[in-house]
Amino acid sequence: MTIAVVYSDGIREYDFGPGHPFRGDRYATFIRLLHERLTDDDFELVEPRYANDDELLLVHDQLYIDFLEGASKGVWLPSYRFLSPDTPLQPGIARAARLIAGTSLTATEIVWEGKFSRAVSVGGGMHHARKRFGAGFCIYNDVAISVRNLIEKYNLERVLILDTDAHAGDGTCELFYQDPRVLFIDLHQDPRTLYPGTGFAHDIGAGEGKGFTVNVPLPPGASDAAYEYVMDQIFQPLAEEFQPQMIIRNGGSDPHFADELTNLGLTLEGFRMLGAKVAQVADELCQGRAVDLVGSGYNQRVLPYGWLALMSGLAGLDIELREPFLFSLKKDYQLDETKRVVEQVRQNLKDYWRCFR
Ligand SMILES: [Zn+2]
């Protein structure tokens, strides 16, 4: 099976400048690694389009778009109203953010339309962006934009978002908090120990959407075995009961044990396991339709390998994964603590899901 890799060189402008942990050279290093390690039969590069205003407005508002694009043309508005200090506006970055949104739109559309059963959006996963506020290196929330687009343009009724980024997806969570059409399952490092400090197990959605937000706060150091337990005890049974029409997984390499901004414990094999579980459940429930949005990662040496490991699991690519760092890790580190968290999550949600009773 050929997986689509949706990518344009234009996103190298998504760059917060020297000294910032998020630079624009990350994307090209991944594409170079794909060409080194894979054959033309394994993947197909697909050129994305830019998101238009109507698509951005599915999630954001006009004032926010005008600020981002007006400011790049020299019109002054106070930036603290729209962006957190960790997400400074740079020349060209609003245009690149629009391209990232278009990349995820393209990836989800080609899969829904049946041109590919799997796709990777290179640069996607900007899950901290809110309706009128950019933060955590995220400007336009491409995850939410592409899901809303599937709902509005293609009339999907059930979309599953699996957020495996190390940080809680606070923007995505807020945007779908009351929406039962979107099951949002978020695995992240315990919010008491990491930005953005949200995503507790008792946050389960509100109104019509109560029960459709599933936060799994993982203890620092959570190993491959801990993640696998969560995938088997939370992701798979919930997906089977929800019956999604498509699965969208977002998150890059930042849960890796050597990441420089986080404290989780995944290895490359753990990333591959996540991709493979998504693929297996998508095959079982929704004709294989699954899309990966990959953008994060704060260890430059790990980043392209982490993304490749996720993709190799999703696409079933039989390639050797070699850790760029040698480190002795306890294979089931934090499994017991993770079991306690999972039990709590299941208890909190048992009124909404038969599989947790
Ligand atoms: Zn992250």
Ligand 1 geometric centre to CA of 296 (Å): 5
HEC-encoded secondary structure of 143-166: HHHHHHHHHHHHCCCCEEEEECCC
Ligand 1 geometric centre to CA of 95 (Å): 22
Rounded alpha-carbon distances, angstroms, from residue 289 to 118, 317, 325, 344: 6, 17, 33, 30
Which position has the token pair 């620092």? Answer: 220
Question: In a 10 Å sphere around its CB, with 0-12 CB exposed, 13-18 middle and 19+ buried, how is residue 298 labelled?
Answer: buried
| Predicted local confidence at residue 101, as pLDDT | 98
| Predicted local confidence at residue 75, as pLDDT | 60
Ligand 1 geometric centre to CA of 351 (Å): 31
Q: DSSP readout, 272-330?
A: HHHHHHHHHHHHHHSTT-EEEEE---S-TTTHHHHHHHHHHHHHT-------SS-----
Residue 57 pairs with which residues in a beta bridge?
none
Decide if 38 contacts 317 (C-beta within 8 A): yes
Ligand 1 geometric centre to CA of 125 (Å): 9
Kindly state the tokens that stand for 79: 């930036």
Q: Three-class SS of residue 246?
A: strand
Ligand 1 geometric centre to CA of 8 (Å): 22
Provide the residue count of the chain. 357
| Predicted local confidence at residue 325, as pLDDT | 87
Ligand 1 geometric centre to CA of 148 (Å): 22
Distance CA 199, CA 167 (A): 9
Residue 357 pairs with which residues in a beta bridge?
none
Ligand 1 geometric centre to CA of 75 (Å): 31
Distance CA 44, CA 299 (A): 26
Would you give the DSSP letter of residue 122?
E
Q: Which residues are catalytic?
A: 128
Kindly state the tokens that stand for 344: 């709590």
Decide if 342 contacts 201 (C-beta within 8 A): no
Helices (H), the chain: 26-37, 53-56, 62-72, 93-112, 142-154, 170-175, 224-230, 236-242, 268-285, 303-315, 335-349
Q: How many CB atoms lie within 10 A of CB 35?
A: 11
pLDDT in tens, the chain (357 residues): 799 999 999 999 999 999 999 999 999 999 999 999 999 999 999 999 999 999 999 999 999 999 998 854 566 678 889 999 999 999 899 999 999 999 999 999 999 999 999 999 999 999 999 999 999 999 999 999 999 999 999 999 999 999 999 999 999 999 999 999 999 999 999 999 999 999 999 999 999 999 999 999 999 999 999 999 999 999 999 999 999 999 999 999 999 999 999 999 999 999 999 999 999 999 999 999 999 999 999 999 999 999 999 999 999 999 999 999 877 889 999 999 999 999 999 999 999 999 999
Helices (H), 73-169: 93-112, 142-154
Question: Which residues keep their CB under 5 angstroms from ion ligand 1?
Answer: 165-167, 254, 296
Ligand 1 geometric centre to CA of 124 (Å): 12
Q: Please, which residues have CB within 8 angstroms of residue 287's CB and are 6 or more apart in sequence?
A: 117
| SS3 of the chain: helix, strand, coil, percent, to 5 | 40, 15, 45
Kindly state the tokens that stand for 26: 């990350």
Distance CA 242, CA 256 (A): 29
Q: Report pTM.
A: 0.97
From the list 127, 259, 119, the residue with the least C-alpha distance to 186 is 127
Kindly state the tokens that stand for 137: 């290196």
Fold of the 3-356 domain: Arginase; Chain A (3.40.800)
| Predicted local confidence at residue 70, as pLDDT | 80
